[in-house]
Structure 1
Amino acid sequence: MHILRVFNTNVVLARDADGREVVLTGRGLGYQARPGQPVDESKVVRVFVPDDGRNADNFGAMLAAIAPEHVLVVDQALAPVWAELGREPSSTTVLALADHLSFAIKRVQHGIPGVFPLRAEIAHLYPRELHWGEQIVDAVNDQLGLALPRDEAVPVALHLVNASFNSGNLALTYRMTGVFSQVFDIIESEYGRPLERESVNIARFITHLRYFFVRVHSGTQLADDSAALLDAIRASHPQAHRCALRVADVLAMRLEQPITDDETAYLTLHIARLSQPGRLGTTPS
């Protein structure tokens, strides 16, 4: 294998013997390494093969932004799940869960409470995934000496539902891709400049939309009816909210279901983040 890009001292992008672009992790793997050099395979701990059509550069950038110990503990905690499912480990699921739990850990460390509005629905619709989610949260707490709330298993379960939801369903994947492209066109039209479509923030927005698809198809859209929160979001981000309403209208037509106010509010927050300086491309000349 040869190095294509060095993300940090522990994460590199490489080309394997089959010609695939893969993301490699290992302590010191990228230290003083340069593109074109052979990989020191004795330092490789994990080989990630981006699946679901994920861009390898984007995958590596996201992975490099997560603490290595968080990736490792999630990878280990998921092993029994893959064994029970009889499937090969999904690199995308490991990355998504590690990214989520890394943020959850920071949230707990700063005393910010989590919100888990779907616990009743998840417990009813996906009891197996919720059970696995609880096991994963327990494993993370045990391995890292943390105190993540047990209800953190709810979003973890949604990640696992999403992993199985998209398995082998190419028709749905193609449909989602078309809708994503249309959503990006709407945002670019609203702000009059292009999105940086290979950015980490776009990847996170896509992840949000993927889970939105899961919720729509399972009939569990977010619907807390928190009027005060919704009003605050509208007031803080009027242009993003106007854009989110346009996006919600398109999603409603494409998915043949009305979009709740809560889902529109979360779209608003994501669009507001994308519209911040440096998140969109430069204004066309």
Structure 2
Amino acid sequence: MRIIRILNNNVVSSLDEKNNEIVVMGKGIGFQKKQGEEIEDAKIEKIFRMPHTNASQFERLVEEMPYEQVKVADEIIGYAKDTLGKKLNKNIYITLTDHLNFALERQKQGITFQNALLWEIERFYNIEFQIGCKAIEIIKERLNVELTKDEAGFFALHIVNAEMDIGDMHQAMEMPGIIKDILNIVKYTFGIEIDENTLSYERFITHLKFFVQRAVTNQCYPTDDEEFVKSQINKFPQAYGCAVRIKEYMQKKMKYDTGEEELMYLTMHISRIVRRKL
């Protein structure tokens, strides 16, 4: 591989075997080098392959950031992938890396942000939140900077965003609050407290995560068998009435039209979690 552009002493751009632009990182990989020179294989620590539309944005980001911060961001993302056991949208290399840089700058200036969604994130996206807490540990170990639990919540949201491939951080930030509102609709409709230590509750939360994801990305279930859907809905009239209230809320909040099959699944989940309370 040859150097196309030297971003800084530790990061250069190049082309892979398919002529796609890549970013190559390694200690001193660009030091005293010139455009067109061969990249020393022994110095390569990481190769980033970004979508063409985001490549220049990522290059600008790593060009300006300290090398150790970029390495830490990459370590956090790698830990998230391993923990979740799935691929993440590559934009996380931009969004999380940029957030890390921003958080460290704020910390240096003595500025702290309170995460208003921290309670909801910890409750509804606990795995991602634990990854966020691990990110705080990694930052402390590698950079000797202690960030707050609020920042763990922000890192968790970036992971949720990349995990669910939402593409818009503002939409990802809306999701925990929407899930909380839906649970409150169920509580107030039936006048109950939901037992959170049940499998039915866990399944409902999992369903709500994907339901809200479909809403923010404006996707919906196709209704393949209307008769079956109606038969299931008719079995649980009270739960269906609650599902309709959720539909009305989603229409008002998100301008999202909840289809009949989606209503059926909501109805079935609601019936399970309130069954023992009625």
TM-score by length of 2: 0.59
User: Which structure 2 residues correspond to residues 179-198 of structure 1 after superposition, within 5 A?
Assistant: none
Structure 2 partner of 1:31: 31
Q: How does 1:222-237 map to 2 (within 5 A)?
A: none
8 Å Cα contact 1:13-1:56 kept in structure 2: no
Change (3 A) 1:91 1:45: farther
Of stretches 133-142 and 92-101 in structure 1, the one that deviates more from structure 2 is: 92-101
**Counterpart residue number, 1:98:** 97
C-alpha deviations, 1:179-218, integer Å up to 9, x for none? xxxxxxxxxxxxxxxxxxxxxxxxxxxxxxx111223455
Between the aligned partners of 1:256 and 1:15, the Cα distance in structure 2 is 47
Quick check: which has more Rg, 1 or 2?
2
Match of 1:3 in 2: 3
Report the residue type matching 1:150 in the other structure: K
- Select 1:212's aligned residue among 149, 170, 182: 170
* Residue ranges of structure 2 left out of the alignment (5+ in a row): 180-215, 219-249, 255-278
Q: One-letter code of the match for 1:5?
A: R
1:62-211 equivalent positions in 2, closer than 5 A:
62-88=61-87, 91-166=90-165, 210-211=168-169
Partner SS for 1:96: helix
**1:19-46 deviation digits (Å, cap 9, x = unpaired):** 2211111122222333333222222111
Kept in 2: contact 1:121–1:220 (CA 8 A): no
Contact 1:122 1:154 in 2 (8 A): yes
Sort the Cα spacing of 1:63 and 1:219 in 2 relative to 1 into closer, same or farther, 3 A: same
TM-score by length of 1: 0.58
Q: SS state of the match for residue 3, structure 1?
A: coil
Bigger Cα displacement from structure 2, 33-42 vs 129-138: 33-42
Structure 1 residue 77, shift from structure 2 partner: 3.2
Q: Could you say if the C-alpha distance between residues 31 and 142 of structure 1 is closer, same or farther in structure 2, counting changes exceeding 3 Å?
A: closer
1:122–1:88: structure 2 CA closer, same or farther, 3 Å change rule? Answer: closer
AA partner of residue 6 (structure 1): I
Distance 1:13 1:257 in 2: 47
Corresponding residue for residue 19 of structure 1: 19
RMSD: 2.8
Three-state SS of the structure 2 residue aligned to 1:55 is: helix
Total equivalences in the alignment: 186
**Runs of 5+ unmatched residues, structure 1:** 167-171, 174-209, 222-251, 260-285
Separation (CA, whole Å) in 1 of partners of 2:89 and 2:11: 18
Q: Is the 8 A contact 2:7 2:13 kept in 1?
A: yes
Which amino acid in structure 2 is aligned with residue 128 of structure 1?
I
Task: Return closer, same or farther for 1:139/1:64 CA change in 2, 3 Å cut-off.
Answer: same
Change (3 A) 1:147 1:116: same
Equivalent position amino acid for 1:212 in 2: H
Q: Which digits, 9 at most, give the CA deviation of each residue in 1:28-85, with x for residues without a partner?
A: 222233333322222211101114x543222111111111111212322333321222
Deviation at 1:112, TM superposition (A): 1.1
